[in-house]
Structure 1
């Protein structure tokens, strides 16, 4: 497949068109997407990304097709990991649910712009100095090691919401503590002030730049063709907003995703160093001659990346930690749903909701103290929701009292 100026122009026009469609069709009116809406549009964007790779096959360009799909899967995995940090930032700023997709779309747009700049810069550096792959490889190995070290130490990303860009913005212009719809600026006491909406966008924008530092070197380990790097990165970002709302409840259940991504980044780092050795020009390495090492084929890279992701997801969901988190989340979710049932709810529907609540609350109640201490960061809130829901059930004449409900009310502790 010939990649020329026309190819670039058409591709960029399609990407910009998709972004514009998202802005005007989805986020112009603030709302929280339903699961159905998020599922449909996530499927559309993933379908477009997969269909784009078929274009290379249509031109008989199998090598670029494999490189594109490998890069797309790699970048998609890294972008899902980015969603965790976005979630923390939005929680720190208490972004109302209906405005979150606008914040996410801004983050995606800024990520696309910043990563495009990094792609162009990376391509120029590679063109001038091919031994830069040594630096890329070592950098990715360091990133993988630091990420693994952070996970083992239990570090979190809560300080991402108070990064240097946010502090600088607050110094330049006064900031309001109140949201004014989805406006970026407002007038308070006759003065123009920034709203938290602008600050959260600044925080996410600054974080996007940091993400680009490991994202772009990683995909250059898959392919050195700038067009493949750009398209794989762009399509991995498109639809990320919908994916966030689709897997919102699943994001923090992937408890070992960071370990999997550390393994992938480490693998790509080794691949880059092997490539650098194979194309070596450094005079102090093998006298400036190429080192006869076996490079890792792109198809093998694709299988390794997919394999690690599958193992990571399965282990996360099946592990005792993952199961404990599922029990806690479902106990709170079904207790909250029971609380929200209308007074005129049919007795059979109320009984079914009560059974689901009892089932998951009993599972959560049976967790070991280890998981309670580690996972219940908001224990008071959790206990209050569970207690209130079961108190409601005990006083409900439509549903028989149960020992489960009575016991859980007693163990949930005092209401907050």
Structure 2
């Protein structure tokens, strides 16, 4: 253990996320005085939150902060031994805070501490322009987000600037068309449009107003959020917003969904689709990738199991062993989905070893913590999807990447 990296204090706090819902923060202090903080939104509040914070805080006291794998193993074991099945994000927050404290204790930027000293590659931004689904504040669009992706930008900063230009042009265009320009939970505009095609048309027009050629200077990406559309009882994906706007019930089975994506790819320069089918539909993912994988990347979200759910004798990260990456051609990772820094790094490594592209993705609940930016830089992610260039919990990730880009130029 490097001198002074022993954890001497862990503090847990109840906080607020961007929607005014519960969040938790962990703050870690090391023997040499270095500190690290991390905040994570909770999917749901729990009466056990205070107990979780107390138990997990004690798990890592007096341990070596630079032993991230050991720290995360102790957190997992602590949750399991106490019968805590839902750790409410605090395990994730402690894991992140420990890595921040260790980086500070060693005098290193977090992205260098996580990813090594070799110069990395910054991700291309996928910025939300129009929101729907659970992000859309009850608007008519069923899919969660419609994004732009800069093509061939010389730097992250240049790519981010292009996205911001299109976002502002889209705002003016929607205003002229008589739509309100309030924003959804991930910062995208939330107009009541007839369908996905109309949303993509508006975004393409905004691109052209900025002087960008769709498909050449910028492409489109879709966050489908198909899991929330899927009805297990009927086996159909329910498009309730589109049904309301057209007056005709719209529901699609697996084949219809694949046909739907074919239509979108034929009509628009869509280069990526997140969560295109339900998570459990491995056969459907395989069909989707086989038929369209040469035209776009299909990104599934990969998660670690819930803390405390391990069976006796199971490996800590057993969820990684049964994923061989064949169902899609790109992997999406969020810190909350991975549950810990170690699991997130292992998922990223496994994706690379299977030849998959990598996207660091937003969560449904967000805070102003920019940890995802450092993580994306550390694992050389291909893209980062953090929402629109609007709302501070979204822009904090993009702003941190702008700082990292500056640090990289200085340190090379």
Range into which the TM-score falls when normalised by the shorter chain: under 0.3
Q: TM-score, normalised by structure 2?
A: 0.24
Quick check: which has more Rg, 1 or 2? 1
Q: TM-score, normalised by structure 1?
A: 0.24
